[in-house]
Amino acid sequence: MLGKGIRHTKRYREIVNTLIKNGFSHILFRVGLIDRAMAKSKESAEVNTSMKSMGKRLRLALQELGPTAIKLGQIASTRYDTLPPEITAELEKLQDHAPVFAFEQVQNTIEMEFDDNLENLFDHVRSEPLATASIGQVHAARLLSGEEVVVKVQRPGLKPRMETDLEILEGIGHMLEERAAWARRYRVCDIIDELSETLRNELDYIVEGRNGEQIAGQFDNQAFIKFPNIYWDFTTEKVMTMEKISGIKVSEIEFLDQAGYDREIIAKRLADAMLRQILVNGFFHADPHAGNIFILPKNTVAFLDFGETGHVSENLKRHFASIIANLHQGDSMGMIKTFSRMDLIVEETDIERLERDLDKLHQQYQNVKVKDLSLGRIIIGIFSVVYHHHIKVPTEMVIISKTILALEGVLGRLDPEFSLLRAAEPFARKLVLKRYHPKEIIRNSWQEIGENLDILTDLPKDMKQIMSVVKKGRVGLDINVRHINDVMRRLDRISNRIAFSILMLAFSIIMSGLIIGLAVVGQNTIIWELPIIEIGAIIALLMFILMIVIIIRSGRM
């Protein structure tokens, strides 16, 4: 414990001194990390307080603080929903300026992980690295069986250093939320927890390998989408061995043209592969930048590096598809309804102002050609609007937007005429239509029935608890009539639908009784010279269809 405390104190001082050196002494004082005397002694009149300058100084400070800070900055650059655009724009420029570590350290790590000599594991490992990053280093190698592979080796001593930095960061987050209202409003601790989880996952190469195999499984029948095979016998938490992919980096346009590749086909295949991952399968490669995509013969697209992935639930896929459809139609109220179905609308949200702000956003893109529209930038614009209306954007949506932005950057270089918005529309339409498929309606209806039965089962116990509290006089009355008219209208519609359902049930019971009774006594179904049973069946069918239409139009499946 003492060693841990000393280590934390030393690193904490390094962090504070680096931030002070880059002009953040005033901010550190305001959040309570340093005292007034230190802030004044380090204060400089030359510090530019503009947001753009602050973003640049923050980027330089993070680069100086090393691998953990760089990775956290890269991840934070995707938080368009909470950070100002000037800050995220600078953080996007963060690059891994990690120095090469010696081959002796590479060899030591491999031998310790497998408890064997390097020559017993590999026929050859090239000493010069193919690539170096803040987390690991990649070397070309050959297995004893002759396969050409690449070996990714984690930087020595990285995990303890990162854990120290993350523990310090989490402690600072809790302190900020205790002392500052803005930190509680921005949910600083939640953001830090999300960043920490993402970074810890990147430290485990077994997780990365499994992610790659899971995504690869989505394309088993796709000949023109390629993923490297993982050699699990030579993979651990700190060492990963995978098939060597020899191709042209997707950003090397001149080489692609010289090799005779069709960039339009490549762009379409790449976009389809990513949209299929996001909107169909719900598990996707979340870092599709140029360095992670190679092009192979026959315009084959190869994906590399699965340290960052994203997951989308079935509900979120449908909601995201609805947002894309609303964007295409310029339907602000439809978008608000989607936010409502996602349970994001809160009491403080002014619906009329939100609709006006979204309308203004739509108007900015009305006269822009489809090929010039950036789906990612539009989504970020939406994030900016909804955030000002106290709507918290789900983390998964933020990851999707970051992925789309990176993808659009790659597609724009491949084919300037390509529109990801247009490519996403068919996927979105299928998801929206799937919602109204009879199977989906039945499945959701059964799910709601089950949930309602649970509520009814617990109702006596809940009522007993409520009455107990009432008898003890511990009930506070808090009535908010701000939206009372809307509430009363909704209650009126609900009661009407319940009454209609009861009448329909009663009518069905009567019809069933008539059918059974007439069958027992051997009578036909003609009463008063009218086919009563047939007429009743038609009425019941029409009532059932009307009920289904009402449910569908309500948007609450």
Query: Cβ distance 318 to 432 under 8 Å?
Result: yes
3-state secondary structure of 123: strand
> 248-262, 362-376, 470-484, 533-547 — which is least confidently predicted?
470-484
DSSP calls for 171-223: HHHHHHHHH-HHHHHHTHHHHHHHHHHHHHHHT-HHHHHHHHHHHHGGGTT-T
> Is pLDDT above 90 for 481?
no
Structure token pair of residue 43: 């204060």
- Between 266 and 551, the more confident residue is 266
pLDDT of residue 334: 82
> Is pLDDT above 80 for 458?
no
Compute the distance between CA of residue 28 and CA of residue 76 in angstroms, rounded to an integer.
Answer: 19
> pLDDT band at 430, cuts 50/70/90?
confident
Exposed / middle / buried, residue 375 (Cβ in 10 Å: 0-12, 13-18, 19+): buried
Compute the distance between CA of residue 332 and CA of residue 354 in angstroms, rounded to an integer.
Answer: 9
- Between 333 and 116, the more confident residue is 116
> 43-52, 86-95, 296-305, 309-318 — which is least confidently predicted?
43-52
pLDDT of residue 303: 95
> pLDDT band at 482, cuts 50/70/90?
very low
Compute the distance between CA of residue 448 and CA of residue 141 in angstroms, rounded to an integer.
Answer: 55
Query: Cβ distance 151 to 138 under 8 Å?
Result: yes
- At residue 165, what is the residue type? D
3-state secondary structure of 131: strand
Strands 148-154 and 293-296: unpaired
Compute the distance between CA of residue 438 and CA of residue 419 in angstroms, rounded to an integer.
Answer: 33
Q: Is the dihedral of CA 353, 355, 358, 362 positive or negative?
A: negative
3-state secondary structure of 482: coil
Compute the distance between CA of residue 67 and CA of residue 78 in angstroms, rounded to an integer.
Answer: 18
Kindly report the number of other CB atoms within 10 A of residue 260's CB atom: 8
Name the residue ranges covered by the structural domains of the chain: 2-98+160-201, 245-435, 482-557
pLDDT in tens, 301-341: 999 989 888 888 888 888 888 887 777 777 788 888 888 88
Q: Where are the beta strands (DSSP E) in 266-377?
A: 283-285, 293-296, 300-303, 309-311
Compute the distance between CA of residue 530 and CA of residue 526 in angstroms, rounded to an integer.
Answer: 5
Query: Cβ distance 353 to 460 under 8 Å?
Result: no
Torsion angle, alpha carbons of 449, 455, 459, 465, to 10 = 180
> Is pLDDT above 90 for 470?
no
Compute the distance between CA of residue 461 and CA of residue 442 in angstroms, rounded to an integer.
Answer: 30
Most confident of 100-104, 186-190, 434-438, 535-539: 100-104
> pLDDT band at 256, cuts 50/70/90?
very high
Cα dist. 419→178, 304, 381, 411 in Å? 46, 24, 18, 9
**Contact residues for 523 (Cβ-Cβ < 8 A; gap 6+):** none
- Residues 262-289, buried b or exposed e (16+ Cβ, 10 A)? ebeebbbbbbbbbbbbbbebbbbbbbbe
pTM for the structure as a whole: 0.69
Compute the distance between CA of residue 34 and CA of residue 462 in angstroms, rounded to an integer.
Answer: 50
Compute the distance between CA of residue 89 and CA of residue 58 in angstroms, rounded to an integer.
Answer: 11
* Of residues 419, 425, 321, the one with CA closest to residue 373: 419
pLDDT in tens, 170-226: 888 888 778 777 677 667 787 788 778 878 888 899 999 999 999 999 998 888 999
pLDDT of residue 446: 55
